[in-house]
A and B are shown apart, each in its own frame.
Chain A
Amino acid sequence: MSKEGRYQNRVEFVQGTLDMVILQTLGRGAQHGYGISQAIRAGSDDVLPVETGSLYPALHRLEKQGLVKSEWKQSEHNQRAKYYRITEAGKRHLQTQDDRWLQLTGAIAALMVPSVTKGEA
């Protein structure tokens, strides 16, 4: 894939969705920042690259809001790393965000589809 092509296929995170994706990722188990960024990238087939510039502020914002908790642990490679874990509040938050996400995407899909048909017509 050419450099440009990769860029075109990338999707910018919609405001607020990064939090959701992080929580979703942590729902599968505790993970450190690097792990989270790898998981998101892998889980989205490289479509969603996580800018570290957004990831860490987002993680700390979530921790400040009490949606995640963190602790220092040894990683699988015997390295000290800070692991984040979703809290009960985080799970509840994820649930409501999930519902809102479905509503939002549904609404956008409904808007987009007719315009596409119009354009083709």
Chain B
Amino acid sequence: MSIWSRIQSWRHRQRDIDEEIQSHLAMATRDRIERGEPAEPAGFTVRREFGNLTLIKEMTKEVWRWNSIERVFQDVRYSLRSLLKSPAFSVTVILIFGVGIGANATVFSIVKTVLLHPLPFPESQEIVHVRRRTDFGSSSSFPMHDYLAIRVQDNAFSALAIADGGIGGYNLIGGGAPEQVSGMRVSAQYFSVFGVQPAAGRLFANGDDAPGQPHFAVISEGLWNRRFGRSPSVVGRMLNIGGEAYNVLGVAPGSMRGFMPSDIYLCLPIPSESTDRTNGFQVVGRLKPGLTLSRAETEIDTTARHHAKSSSLTNMPQGILLREIQEEIAGRARPALRILFAAVALVLLVACSNVANLVLARGAGRRREIAVMAALGAPRSRVLGRLLTEGFMLAAAGGSLGLFLAHLGVRALPLLSADRLPQLDLIQVDFAALGFVFAAAVVCGLLASIAPALDLAKTNLTEALKQATSQGGATLGGNRARNTLVTSQVALSTVLLMGAILLIRSFSNLSAVDPGFRADHLLTMSISVNSTRYPDSVRAAAYYEKVVQNVEKAPGVVAASSTTTFPFEPVFDFPVRPLRGDPTSSTQRGANRNQVDAWYRAINSRFFLAMRIPVLRGRVFDEHDSANSAPVVIINSALARKAFPNQEALGKSLVIGEGYLTEPRELRPRTIVGVVGDTREEGLMYAPPGVIFVPVAQSPDRITRITLEKIPTRWVIRTTGDPLKLVAAVRRAVLEVDATQPAAEFQTMEKVLARSFAPARFNMLMLAMFAVLALALAALGVYGLMSYSVSMRVREIGLRMSLGAQPVNVVRSLVWQGLTLCFLGIVLGLAGALALGRFLRNLLFGVPPSDMFTIATVVGTLLIVMLVSNYVPASRAARIDPMRALREE
């Protein structure tokens, strides 16, 4: 039997029962009349004898119900009708639920993707980063020499691969106009580590990375789409990549974007021996199935330590540790996301409490309706069922709205996060989120309707029926529940506001930090300089100098310079040995004791002018600082303090790169000709590191070659107007110097800077939104409570005013009563916020969790908001006409 025909037959049955009982009454009446009773009293007696007509009909109909489905249908229909009758109430509740659930589903989607499934690879928990133990913990940068040593260990990994940093830029010629693409060089097992299948052709296989093999390349699915229109003919094609011919073997799947995204992958030839100890590589591996991380770590660590004993070239004397890559990604985001999730859950609580209050208020007006329902024979469970049905229907509608809002919210995330959230483009509202929304809606429905339902179901029938007017019915118990709900809303939003303001303060502290250079009016770009075309420092310097001169010819350009890396970009830590004017220290002996680490930058003479880094003492480089002149350096004052404590650094000299460089010429002492201001290179929250600047022409060839191979040369260009307006002119100017070397990645320095504090900004914006949301809901709750209590007390207020009370005093006393609740909420909220403050500590910068200014701001904001939300409805009391209020019944 179909549901429809069941409903039909059910309807028929209902009519049937009504008729049957009607005929019973008719026959009984007729009998009594035949016995001589008068017609009218006979009808009454029969009715009375029969009993509760509605209840009996209901019980008889009950017999025919199947699975209580009809009852649900009936309740749904009833609830729908009742909700449609008060559209303002329904829309408000659905909106509140929708926003609350939507915010939660958005954060849930982020958390789920970032924390639970940060990598789009099969068995991604098996993929590990191989890291060197260091004095400060561990480092993922690895030298080729050590990779070759651990590679022989084959008990731990089913696949092990080495890759260079992943920030390389290559000029791609073939299949369209020359363009600069991102690329990385990886060993043959790289794709096996991630367990991916090719989108076309094949990926690297064992042996492809043996020395003497031809140049093999794999391109990304993104590049395949963009440049080759997904044509299968790209497989087997020869492409000119970075000036060399590569044979394209196949296309890597789109999921490879999930970790160190790259446009092209070049097969890195693995030598059988290497003395290269520069930490320029990353090593990734896939654990053998079933092997635990710690077991694998023991194996590989033993191998590493064993090797370290016999090798003087090793950079892993303290051994190796392994870390799950998904854990590395999730771990960074975890503290902040936990806090966001907790915050958004608080918002949902405020929303539920708000809805519960609305339902309570509405329930007060419906007391009579319910009482009538009960008097007509509806069992108590039935009344409860109807109320719960209403709650669930509202929650379901709110949940649907929430799902839609979450969908939009996830789309809007990139706007907030400036793409620094890991795996941002993988985040979506999926089935798990759907399940989450469903669960949230059920909880909301329950939370919001259980209190009002209990309140209504214990309603005293007779009392409610006796109250002829729809006024009154505000029981003491009901009011206490409403007061508690409002207090909790104020308390919860206090907690959120406190957190938000702390983050806003941190962020403003962070952005007030002087980075040490002027980021405005500064254009940045990259040129992937071909290291075969410009194989040494002299030729590279000559090329750069021509680019500087040509770019500076463009109108609007003030100064231009190349640099090894941008601020906030990972760079080489370079050993520097200061010569402190004491001749014995210039000998090799004791060299290690005096060495300090500094960041290395090869630059042009105009660098400090372009960056607006102040020159504190001495001079900047000029055209006389050539490859053949005396070697010179400029250092920043942080390095000056570190390398020459209590001494004047200017005029002293230092040796760079001991342990890496071999040419005696490159190990000559270099004279310090200038000391410049510090820049906060490692991020605005950290102290400035020591930096050493060298003219490109005097940069050791080895360093020039390594940097050219690994990273495109970075450029900074100071402009008079909007930097982005100059992009076309600068691009042309660069191509005029060498048509094979295009410039790319044009960006303003302000954007580079903004990206460095994107996570702080993201956390701040999210928490601020949640706090505003919670505050608005709490204000709504306070407003509602005050309106309600004014409307309930019209008679009392009218009486007081007719006895001479001034409207001002009446309003003041009402507002005061309302504010008392809010005070309680604020105090509770502050206590909660202070208790929870330690969880926020890691996200704060320059402000303690119990910051007095923040507390004052929170209390002030809340008081103003609460005062307004109490005053507006309370002021209506002043307009009550005493005479009308007293007459009203």
Spell out A's residues near B (CB within 8 Å). Answer: 32-35, 51-53, 56-57, 59-61, 64, 75, 77, 79-82
- Pick the residue among B24, B30, B51 that contacts A33 (CB under 8 A): B24
Q: Are B60 and A57 touching (Cβ within 8 A)?
A: yes
B373 to chain A, nearest CB (A): 19
B154 proximal to A (CB < 8 A): no
Nearest residue (CB) in B for A49 is B49
Q: A81–B60 contact, CB under 8 A?
A: no
Interface contact B26-A79, CB-CB below 8 Å:
yes
Residue B661 lies at the interface, judged by CB distance under 8 Å to chain A: no
**B59 close to A33 (CB less than 8 A):** no
Residues of A within 8 A of B706 (CB): none
**Chain B contacts of A53 at CB under 8 A?**
51-52, 55-56, 59
**Set A61, A64, A82: member contacting B23, Cβ < 8 A:** A82
A12 to B580 alpha-carbon distance, docked (Å): 113
State whether B63 touches A81 (Cβ < 8 A): no
**Complex interface: chain B residues within 8 A of A33 (CB):** 20-21, 24
- Contact B63 A57, beta carbon cutoff 8 Å: yes
Q: In the complex, what residues of B have CB within 8 A of residue A61's CB?
A: 63
- Most chain B beta-carbon contacts within 10 A, residue among A51, A64, A82: A82
Out of A34, A60, A77, which one reaches B24, CB within 8 Å?
A: A34
- Between A and B, 29 residue pairs with Cβ closer than 8 Å are A32-B23, A32-B27, A33-B24, A34-B27, A34-B28, A35-B27, A52-B50, A52-B51, A52-B56, A53-B59, A56-B17, A56-B21, A57-B56, A57-B59, A57-B60, A57-B63, A60-B60, A61-B63, A75-B27, A77-B27, A79-B26, A79-B30, A80-B19, A81-B23, A81-B27, A82-B16, A82-B19, A82-B20, A82-B23
9 new A-B contacts at CB < 8 Å, known A32-B27, A60-B64: A33-B21, A34-B28, A35-B27, A56-B21, A56-B56, A57-B62, A60-B63, A61-B63, A80-B19
Are B60 and A56 closer than 8 Å at their CB atoms?
yes
Return A26 CB to nearest CB of chain B, in Å. 15
Question: Of all chain B residues, which has the CB nearest A77?
Answer: B30
Question: Within 8 Å CB of A77, what residues of B?
Answer: 27, 30
Q: Determine the chain A residues whose CB is within 8 A of the CB of B16 once the complex forms.
A: 82
Chain B residues numbered 37-51 whose CB sits less than 8 Å from any CB in chain A: 49-51
Contact with A along B7-30 (1 / 0, CB 8 A): 000000000110111011011101
B809-853 interface mask toward A, CB cutoff 8 Å, 1 = contact, 0 = none?
000000000000000000000000000000000000000000000
How many Å from the CB of A71 to the closest CB on chain B?
Answer: 11
Chain A residue contacts of B49, Cβ below 8 A:
52
Q: How many chain B residues touch the partner (CB < 8 A)? A: 22
Instruction: Evaluate contact between B63 and A79: CB separation under 8 angstroms.
Output: no
B666 to chain A, nearest CB (A): 101
- Enumerate chain B residues within 8 angstroms of A79, measured Cβ to Cβ: 23, 26-27, 30
Q: Tell me which residues across on chain B come within 8 A of A82, comparing CB atoms.
A: 16, 19-20, 23
Closest to B53 in A: A52
Give the top 3 A-B pairs by smallest Cβ distance, nearest first: A60-B63, A56-B60, A34-B27
Please give, as numbers and ranges, the residues of chain B lying within 8 Å of A52 by CB-CB distance.
24, 49-51, 56
Complex: A57 Cα to B16 Cα, angstroms: 13
- Residues of chain B within 8 A (CB-CB) of A57 are 56, 59-60, 62-63
Task: Give chain B residues whose Cβ lies under 8 Å from the Cβ of A35.
Answer: 27
A34 to B23, CA, bound (A): 8
Pick the contact of A80: B23, B55, B62 (CB < 8 A): B23
Judge whether A51 and B51 touch: CB under 8 Å: yes
B63-85 interface (Cβ within 8 A of A)? 63-64
Q: Bound state CA distance, A77 and B63, in angstroms? A: 30
The docked-state distance in angstroms from the alpha carbon of A35 to that of B533 is 113
* Residues of B in contact with A (beta carbons under 8 Å apart): 16-17, 19-21, 23-24, 26-28, 30, 49-52, 55-56, 59-60, 62-64
Residues of B within 8 A of A81 (CB): 20, 23, 27
Closest beta carbon of chain A to B39's beta carbon, Å: 15
- A56–B52 CA distance with the chains assembled, in angstroms: 13
Report how far A32 CA is from B28 CA in the complex, Å: 12
CB-based contact A60/B52 at 8 Å: no
The interface residues of chain B lying within 8 Å CB-to-CB of A80 are 19, 23
Q: Is A64 in contact with B63, judged by CB distance below 8 angstroms?
A: yes
> Least Cβ distance of B488 to chain A in Å?
45
CA–CA, A5 and B49, complex, Å: 18
Alpha-carbon distance between A59 and B50 when the two chains are bound, in angstroms: 16
B residues near A56, Cβ cutoff 8 Å: 17, 20-21, 56, 59-60
Chain B nearest CB: distance from A106 CB in Å? 32
Chain A residues with CB under 8 A of B56: 52-53, 56-57
Q: In the complex, A72→B254 CA distance in Å?
A: 73
Nearest Cβ on chain A to B741's Cβ, whole angstroms: 90
Q: How far is the CA of A52 from the CA of B30 in the complex (A)?
A: 17
Q: How far is the CA of A82 from the CA of B51 in the complex (A)?
A: 20
Q: Given A52-B51, A81-B27, answer yes or no on A64-B20 (Cβ-Cβ < 8 Å).
A: no
What is the CA–CA distance of A82 and B50 in the complex, to the nearest angstrom? 17
Q: Which of A32, A52, A77 has the most CB of B within 10 A?
A: A52
Q: Bound state CA distance, A59 and B60, in angstroms?
A: 9
Chain B minimum-CB-distance residue to A59: B60
Complex Cα spacing A64 to B66, Å: 11
Q: How far is the CA of A33 from the CA of B19 in the complex (A)?
A: 12
A25→B26 CA distance, assembly (Å): 22
- Kindly state the separation between the CA atoms of A24 and B587 in the bound complex, as whole angstroms: 123
CA distance A27 to B26 in the complex (A): 25
In the complex, which residues of chain A have a beta carbon less than 8 angstroms from the beta carbon of B52? 53
Q: Which residue of B lies closest to A75 (CB)?
A: B27
Residues of B within 8 A of A59 (CB): 60
List the B residue with the shortest CB-CB distance to A37: B24
Considering the chains assembled together, what is the distance between the CA atoms of A17 and B28 in angstroms?
24
Min C-beta distance of B67 to chain A, whole Å: 14
Q: Which residues of B contact A51 (CB under 8 A)?
A: 51
Assembled-state Cα–Cα distance A51/B51 (Å): 8
Asked if residues B24 and A64 are in contact (CB atoms below 8 Å), the reply is no
B30, closest chain A residue (CB): A77
Q: Which residues of B contact A60 (CB under 8 A)?
A: 17, 60, 63-64
How far apart are the CA atoms of A52 and B28 in the complex, in Å? Answer: 12
Q: Which of A34, A57, A64, A79 has the most CB of B within 10 A?
A: A34
Which residues of A lie under 8 Å from residue B28 when comparing CB positions? 34
Partner of B64, one of A32, A34, A64, A75: A64
With both beta carbons as reference points, the residue of chain A lying nearest to B25 in the complex is identified as A34
Closest to A65 in B: B63
Measured CA separation A64–B24 after assembly (Å): 20
What is the bound-complex CA distance between A57 and B21, given in angstroms?
A: 11
Q: How far is the CA of A32 from the CA of B59 in the complex (A)?
A: 18
A51 to B56, CA, bound (A): 10
B692 CB to nearest A CB, Å? 94
What is the chain B residue whose CB lies nearest that of A33? B24
State A75–B28 Cα separation when bound (angstroms): 13
With a cutoff of 8 Å between Cβ atoms, the chain A residues found around residue B20 in the complex are 33, 56, 81-82
Q: Measured between alpha carbons, how far is A57 from B17 in the docked complex, in Å?
A: 10
Complex alpha-carbon distance, A7 and B51, angstroms: 17
- Write the nearest CB–CB distance from B20 to chain A, whole angstroms: 5
* Closest chain A CB from B65 CB (angstroms): 10
The chain B residue sitting closest to A36, CB to CB, is: B24
Rounded to whole Å, the gap between the CB of B35 and the closest CB of chain A is 13
Query: How far is the CB of A121 from the nearest CB of chain B, in Å?
Result: 44
Instruction: Give chain B nearest CB distance to A16 CB in angstroms.
Output: 15
Which partner residue on chain B sits nearest A52 by CB separation? B50
Q: Which residues of A contact B50 (CB under 8 A)?
A: 52
Give min CB distance, A85 to chain B, whole Å: 15
How far is A52 from B21 in the complex, measured between Cα atoms in Å?
Answer: 9
A89 to B239, CA, bound (A): 89
Residue among A56, A59, A79 facing the most chain B CB atoms (10 A cut-off): A56
Q: In the bound complex, how far is the Cα of B26 from the Cα of A56, in angstroms?
A: 16
Which A residues are CB-close (under 8 A) to B30? 77, 79
Listed residue (B26, B60, B64) with the most chain A CB atoms within 10 angstroms of its CB? B60
Q: In the docked arrangement, what's the CA distance between A60 and B64, Å?
A: 8
A residues near B64, Cβ cutoff 8 Å: 60, 64
A35 to B27 Cα, complex, angstroms: 9
